[in-house]
Structure 1
Amino acid sequence: MDRLCIFPGCGFVFFFVMVLYAHGDLSYSVQEELKRGSVIGNIAKDLKLGVDRLSHRKARVDMEGNDGKYCEINLQSGDLLVAERIDREEHCGENPSCVFKFDLLLENPLELHRLSLQVQDINDNAPLFPKDTVKLEITESTMRGAKYRVNAAHDADIGKNSVESYILEQNPHFVFGIQTTSAGRKYGELVLKQELDREDQQEMKLLLTAVDGGSPQRSGTVIIHVIVLDANDNAPVFTEAVYTATIPENSPMKTKIMTVSASDIDEGVNGEVTYEFSRLSDKSRKIFSLDEKTGEISVTGDIDYEEGHKYEVFVEAKDGYGLSSEAKVIIDITDVNDNAPVISLKSVYNPIPENVTPGTEVGLINVQDRDSEYNKQVHCSIQQNVPFKLVPSIKNYYSLVTTGQLDRELESDYNITISATDEGSPPLSSSKTVQLSVADINDNPPVFEEQSYSAYLSVADINDNPPVFEEQSYSAYVTENNSGSTLCSVTGDWRQNGTVIYSLLPGAGAPVSSYVSVNGDTGMIHAVRSFDYEQLRSFKVQVMARDNGSPPLGSNVTVSVFISDVNDNSPQILYPALEGNSFMTELVPKAAHGGSLVSKVIAVDADSGQNAWLSYRIVTSTDPGLFTIGVHSGEIRTQRDISESDSMKQNLIVAVKDNGQPSLSATCSMYLIISDNLAEVTELKDISYDEKIPK
């Protein structure tokens, strides 16, 4: 099913798509850069579990092979939320598919679901040229049609958000075109359409703009500086079109990776070749360097296999007067066993009753190793002689279970050391100590020191025991709009001198007697008024119990009263609002395409929880096939392109319904005019709407 979610104040519409696969797998789609707390989907609903079951079963998500926590579960609502900023370009670069893998874990019983989060690109990066200025030196004898390579702009975004077109500043000498290499890489060409005359103009500066296809559109610019000279007709040629190299992670600084080489058959300055990176990501820029004279590529930063397995960079060879060519360099990183296993205690039942049966699960352990292949294969064990063992469970989880009968009188506490060792060479290990306590149960009868005793004692009673309530505090729950409800009863252990009188103690603010009353004989507390959840959600009263001893003794107890919501408020439509006799009318462009946002119904509900969850639907419309409304967002969009045959005046009647039991609703009319501007609507002053809003 599709979900359409609107986040107030951000001005964007985000689409989340959830698919429930076989075997309990979940998949969601979410845009990058969402704010923390944004709702991705509802785990409870998608797993068909009650929200209370999620909390009881300690539902949580862990990301595979990453310490980052990018999403979390709200156990009160079951919503899967964004926990921290997600940057698609940082994690996936130009890969069209960007998927985060999580483990969704439920306990009692242990249950594991695979959860995939597809990160969608937004247009948050502008096109960027490798340099601010491109210098070209062209001889005046160059014939029309000559082409000069200009490195294309790079946009870290993908798809329609990447570079879409180029605009060259108007000039009499050059036009600009885009070419594609056999490897699929695009580059620009400056094409000479009219010969140059050095005596007329020695140089010119042309502004080239790269524009992406995102919305809003972003752009980047470069200055092409043309200097008019005499001839250089051969570009450098690399010895290889693609260079490859392999180095281990953690290679020291200044480690030589490879040397690229290009030659130019021209003589003098025209044949002198220099090298530079023509395209380099921010991450690659920090760890690789290129000698501009020798073409040697070296390590200049920390290389971590867990941060990146493969790097692709592009090297440009350029001669003295601006002719250039490009080669691709692929650098593969091999894994080194440099990460010790990490042991995480996911849950523990502490203290443990001493009468638990052998084989009882008392804890859950997770072991992760960030390395790959054999370097991440981990073995876990307990080396001590204790009545516990580790049992492999799902994937990289272990259950800590008892192996024998516990006896608190013999051993009340255990410090269990868990060791984890990987299969790397040399292997790396880590350990974690789990502290467990044994809870006492009444399994030993009292033993007298003597077999029999004789004693005679006479004691006169005095009133030295105040009344004692059964509970230290009481909680009472009542729905709003109640009438004379019984809230709870406060009773206790009154013993002798035990006739007890109950009374309310005065409190700060409104007198407590205006809220509740207490039966002086029984301790039964009643509501004396009808409560409104929207005005009052909870309050506290103090009840005193006093005996009739001499002197009288008493004690107090606090009663917390919680009021729960009922669905007694209908949705309130904020927009559109009918002011007096004037109608709020909106324009729809004649050129609007299918899916265009044309308006929005905004409503609120004074209730809370599911009683305030609103849904929208179009009850009637002038043209039923022209507009649709987002069921949860209230956004009105075109279902198809606007055509000339469509009526200029469109009237939609929209119903807004809450999710209470029973549900309440409200309706409004939305008046739309298909026109490009108000000046064109000469008959607007004569518009009247006869449609009636259904009750």
Structure 2
Amino acid sequence: MEFISDVTLICHSRLDWLFLFLFWFHTTYGDISYSFPEEMKPGSVIGNIAKDLGLETGVLSHRKARIDTDGTDHRYCDINLRNGELIVSDRIDREGLCAKKASCILKQELVLENPLELHRISLHIQDINDNSPQFNDDKIDLEIRESTVRGARFVIDEAHDADVGQNSVQQYKLVLENPLELHRISLHIQDINDNSPQFNDEKIDLETQESTDRGARFVIEEARDADVGQNSVQQYSLKKNDNFVLVVNGNTVELVLDKELDREKQQEINLVLTALDGGSPQRSGTVVIHVNVLDTNDNAPVFSQSVYKASLPENSPLDTVVVTVSATDADEGVNGDVSYDFGHVTDEVKQLFSINPKTGEIRVVGNVDYETTASFEIRVKAKDGLGLSSYATLIISVTDVNDNSPVISLKSLSSPISEDTPPGTEVGIINVQDRDSERNRQVRCSIQQGVPFKLVPSIKNYYSLVTTEKLDRELVSDYNITITATDEGSPPLSSSKTVQLSVADINDNPPVFEEQSYSAYVTENNKPGSTLCSVTARDPDWRQNGTVIYSLLPGEVNGAPVSSYLSVNGDTGVIHAVRSFDYEQFRSFKVHVMARDNGSPPLSSNVTVSVFVSDVNDNSPQILYPTPEGNSFMTELVPKAAHGGSLVSKVIAVDADSGQNAWLSYQIVKSTDPGLFTIGLHSGEIRTQRDISESDNMKQNLIVSVKDNGQPPLSTTCAMYLLISDNLAEVPELKDISYTDSNSKLTSYLIIALVSVSTFFLTFIIIVLGVKFCRRGKPRLLFDGAVAIPSGYLPPNYADVDGTGTLRSTYNYDAYLTTGSRTSDFKFVTSYNDNTLPADQTLRKSPSDFSEAFGEFDESSEV
């Protein structure tokens, strides 16, 4: 009896959680190591790194301590800067990080700055039993023939557990369910031997499985004999062979398998069975037994290699053939049909590789990345049609290709940096990583030309960015520093990173005026507060160091503080007039303006501002001769024999203004006889236009207007009184020479001046007449008589027209009028002397004395 049952494999492994075990050790290189179980909650304490390294907790924050992960950007732990504890910052799954590796170590780095210090931290991740064993399939189907030999083995796919060590699969249990009983019944048929033994067929065909057990019996149809008893068939004989023996049990003839068959060695066996009776003579019958050995699935597929090795460059194109595995099965038909598949593999392998179930070709179906996985170990299964299988190992070594550019990370940067930072100062820390391997991982770093910085290699793959020369913010305030990292792969790959660095300002530049000196022009009589000019100073420094404040330096102008004349806007530099200026008082002065920045300490510079006061026509011409003095008038005598063009008198006037404002012009605006006298337009000389006749009125009154050339012009008028006479005796009593015309605008002081002049001339005429009578009959001299035109008082600030005024103070006029010559000459002398009659000795009369001798004027003496 045999028993057949379904088999269920149950894998169970249970391990308790490991308690947190922390340990640390120091190496001569500053390394430290911790061991702790996976799946710790974020925030769990791994250890106190400050205590283990012998560091003060306050140093961690001061030196900008941080945890960097070697070779990846993912950070699994962090440091508490307050107490120095190393804590879990993200989920740590040992199976995801290290798969089936016996040891799982994470490399971390503790970076300290000022100075740069690097400590390597090794985190040993311990496995916990967080994964259950799993079979590839939910159900395993086996096809086993009943003729299978005892002891035959059938391979079952093992269960897999993602854990390692004691947490992985340790044992299996087999439970038999629903036993099945099978009973075999054999029927033995006996015959009598009454004839010669005869077989029904000349040949007997037998079909047996090659895996039939030794001792298996095959019933052979007996030979027939008509006789009975001893004459019937008494014995059988079988030709000797290696596989079968003949067993006769009564009438039952059984062919017993004495040695297992092997179809793969012999597919057919022909046996000759002979049946002998007991008669005499003895007769026999033969039959050929053809044994056809049927195939059973007794051979599992066999790989051509137990271990296949292949090399695959990373980033290989899709559908690239990695390797072709091959297995053969000695069986035939469905038992020898081999199909290929992967054994238990991870999802990553399934996403990267595929296997052709018919040909065994393994192809690339995903992106193979050396930096992610450098090698794969894959179990390949070959299975025949009825379930026998075998396994081979495929090891795929991924070769590195230079497909990763260097990654530049800015770990620290001091920005802004003061412009007085000395050369050699570290301003930043750069870290460079390349995920490739070997030569592809070797990186060279460079910095752009033309910047005052350089890269200095530091610890491992760290570089220090240091200054090479003194900085000047006024030349360059911001730097864009481009750092280039190039690996040594073929072809080489490179990457760049731009670091922006600002330069902080110090007060190292004083304000500088745009001009070396400034000139301001202002017209006199300006309004207080009017703007004269603007000074501008530039300070290339920044913010308060570059903020310019303007002020006037203390000084004096004409004995008064400069602040009483000018003021400057401290913010804009605009200079304003505090008072109104008078050109006639002073024409120019200089002040000093200081520009000071707002730095600490402040810097300053000075500039000179020259202020020029320009003249405006604010002064009317002032008549010096004839000059009214009190209530007297001045008059002059004109000889009756004067010819046309003779100089009679001269009007002398000055103007306190300058330039064209002091250019004077003279004009007779009213006269007793308009055609008798003329006046020089610019000289003021009064001359006769024609010879004097007897019919001309003895009393000639002239109103002269003196006008300057300003805009608008200003003018003044004066009255000139002339007597046409050769002898004072001929002059009637002069009572009043003033005009009383109601429309006259002559001022009282002009009337007095005219009276004074007239008095002077009358006196002079009397003297001349007296001299003439005394010398009658004597030879006539050059001058028979003269009338002096005295110099009026000239203020010292009046100047000649070819300068800035109308008349220099050192020049005076003396006029000599002859009574005996036909013409009168006007003489210029350099200075006033005693030979010239003073103004107070001219003919003077009171206004009442001239009222009878002269008519009345219609015009005023000043406009």
Which of the five TM-score ranges fits, normalised by the shorter chain?
A: 0.5 to 0.7
Q: Please state if 1:453 is matched with 2:554.
A: yes
Structure 1 residue aligned with 2:318: 253
2:80 match: 74
Once residues 379 and 442 of structure 1 are traced to their aligned partners in structure 2, the CA distance between those partners, rounded to angstroms, is 39
Paired residue for 1:391? Answer: 456
- The amino acid across from 2:373 in the alignment is G
CA distance 1:143–1:12, shift in 2 (3 Å): closer
Hey, what's the Cα distance between the residues in 2 that align with 1:324 and 1:446? 94
Matched residues in 2 for 1:389 and 1:424: separation? 24
C-alpha distance in structure 2 between counterparts of 1:282 and 1:21, whole Å: 39
AA in 2 matched with 1:23: Y
The residue type paired with residue 261 of structure 1 is: S
Corresponding residue for residue 180 of structure 1: none
Q: 1:350 aligns with which of 415, 426, 429?
A: 415
Query: Residue type of the partner of 2:358?
Result: K
Aligned partner (choices 29, 32, 46) of residue 26 of structure 1: 32
Q: Give, in whole Å, the separation in 2 of the partners of 1:93 and 1:421.
A: 33
Paired with 1:304 and 1:59, the residues of 2 have a C-alpha distance of 33
What are the residue-to-residue correspondences of 1:182-261 with 2, within 5 Å?
231-261=296-326
Counterparts in 2 of 1:18 and 1:53: CA distance versus 1, 3 Å? same
Write the mapping of 1:25-64 to structure 2, written as runs, cut at 5 A: 25-64=31-70
1-structure distance, mates of 2:457, 2:432: 11
Q: Which moved more, 1:143-152 or 1:290-299?
A: 143-152
Please list the CA deviations of residues 326-384 of structure 1 after superposition, one character each: whole Å capped at 9, or x if unmatched: 11111110111111111111001111111111100000000111111111111111123
Contact 2:111 2:119 in 1 (8 A): yes
State the SS of the aligned residue for 2:29.
Answer: helix
Bigger Cα Rg = 2
Q: Give the letter for the 1:428 counterpart.
A: L
Residue deviations 1:463-508, cap 9 Å, x none? xxxxxxxxxxxxxxxxxxxxxxxxxxxxxxxxxxxxxxxxxxxxxx
Distance 1:452 1:274 in 2: 106
The residue identity in structure 1 corresponding to 2:500 is Q
Residue in structure 2 matching 1:285, options 343, 346, 350:
350
TM-score by length of 1: 0.55
Give the distance between the partners of 1:301 and 1:346, measured in 2 at CA: 35
| Residue of structure 2 equivalent to 1:262 | 327
SS at match of 1:133: coil
One-letter identity of the residue aligned with 2:409: S
Counterparts of 2:19 and 2:59 in 1: how far apart (Å)?
31
The match for 1:137 is 143
Distance in 2, Cα, partners of 1:447 & 1:419: 41
**Compared with structure 1, are the counterparts of its residues 272 and 12 closer, same or farther at alpha carbon in structure 2 (3 Å cutoff)?**
closer
1:296 and 2:361 aligned: yes
> Following the alignment from structure 1 to structure 2, what is the Cα–Cα distance between the partners of residues 231 and 263?
16
Which residue of the partner structure matches residue 91 of structure 2?
85
Is 1:330 the counterpart of 2:431? The answer is no
How many angstroms apart in 2 are the aligned matches of 1:405 and 1:306? 43
Q: Report the AA paired with residue 467 of structure 2.
A: T
Q: Following the alignment from structure 1 to structure 2, what is the Cα–Cα distance between the partners of residues 68 and 371?
A: 17
1:615-671 alpha-carbon deviations (Å, 9 max, x no partner): xxxxxxxxxxxxxxxxxxxxxxxxxxxxxxxxxxxxxxxxxxxxxxxxxxxxxxxxx
Which deviates more, 29-38 or 55-64?
29-38
1:121 aligns to what? Answer: 127
SS for the counterpart of 1:45 is helix
1:308 corresponds to 2:373: yes
Query: What is the TM-score when the length of structure 2 is the normalising length?
Result: 0.44
> Partner of 1:139: helix, strand, or coil?
coil
Higher strand share: 1
Contact kept, 8 Å, 1:141 with 1:230, in 2: the verdict is no
5+ residue gaps, structure 1, are 1-9, 175-228, 459-695
Displacement of 1:65: 1.2
Counterpart residue identity of residue 313, structure 1: I
Residue 357 of structure 1 aligns with an amino acid whose one-letter code is P
Aligned counterparts of 1:35 and 1:144: Cα–Cα separation in 2: 55
Local SS of the residue matching 1:414: strand
State the identity as a percent. Answer: 62
Distance 2:151 2:460 in 1: 63
Aligned to 1:149: 155
- 1:537 aligned residue: none
* Pairwise CA distance, 1:421: 0.8
> The residue matched to 1:275 in structure 2 has which SS?
strand
Using the alignment, how far apart are the partners of 2:151 and 2:503 within structure 1?
Answer: 88
Residue 148 of structure 1: SS of its match in structure 2? Answer: coil
Conserved in 2, the CA contact under 8 Å of 1:129 and 1:151?
Answer: yes
CA contact (8 A) 2:75 2:89 kept: yes
- Identify if the C-alpha distance between structure 1 residues 274 and 306 changes in structure 2 by more than 3 Å, giving closer, same or farther: same
How many equivalent residue pairs?
A: 395
Pairing of 1:544-693 with structure 2 (within 5 A): none
- Computed over aligned residues only, the root mean square deviation of the Cα atoms, in angstroms, reads 2.3
Query: How does 1:367-516 map onto structure 2 within 5 Å?
Result: 367-444=432-509, 452-454=553-555
SS at match of 1:35: coil
SS in 1 for 2:176: coil
Structure 2 counterpart of 1:290, which letter?
I
Q: Report the CA distance between 1:12 and its aligned residue.
A: 7.4
Is the Cα contact below 8 Å between 2:295 and 2:331 reproduced in 1?
Answer: no
C-alpha separation between the residues in 2 aligned to 1:12 and 1:116?
Answer: 20
- Given that 2:296 and 2:331 are in contact with CA atoms closer than 8 Å, whether structure 1 keeps it comes out as no
Is the aligned partner of 1:340 residue 2:441? Answer: no
Give yes or no for contact 2:552–2:563 (8 Å, CA) kept in 1: no
Give 1:452 deviation, angstroms. Answer: 3.7
User: 2:647 matched to which residue of 1?
Assistant: none
Matched residue, 1:95: 101
Q: Which amino acid is the alignment partner of residue 42 of structure 1?
A: N
Give the equivalent residue in structure 2 for 1:626: none
Q: For residues 447 and 431 of structure 1, what CA distance do their matches in structure 2 show?
A: 41
Structure 2 alignment gaps of length 5 or more: 1-15, 181-293, 514-536, 538-550, 556-560, 565-863
**2:604 paired residue number:** none
| Letter aligned with residue 493 of structure 2 | L
**Which amino acid in the other structure matches residue 79 of structure 1?**
E
Q: CA deviation at 1:141?
A: 1.6
Q: 2:374·2:398 contact (CA, 8 Å) conserved in 1?
A: yes
Cα distance in 1 between the residues matched to 2:475 and 2:73:
41
Check conservation: 2:352, 2:364, Cα contact below 8 A: yes
Letter in 1 for 2:487: D
Are the equivalent residues in 2 in contact too, given 1:384–1:417 (CA < 8 A)?
no
How far, CA to CA, are the matches of 1:373 and 1:21 in structure 2?
26
Offset at residue 122 of structure 1 (A): 1.0
The amino acid of 2:498's aligned partner reads T
Q: Measure, in 2, the Cα distance between the counterparts of 1:362 and 1:347.
A: 8
Q: Is the 8 A contact 2:412 2:429 kept in 1?
A: yes
The answer to whether the 8 Å contact 2:486/2:495 transfers is: yes
Cross-structure match for 1:676: none
Letter in 2 for 1:303: V
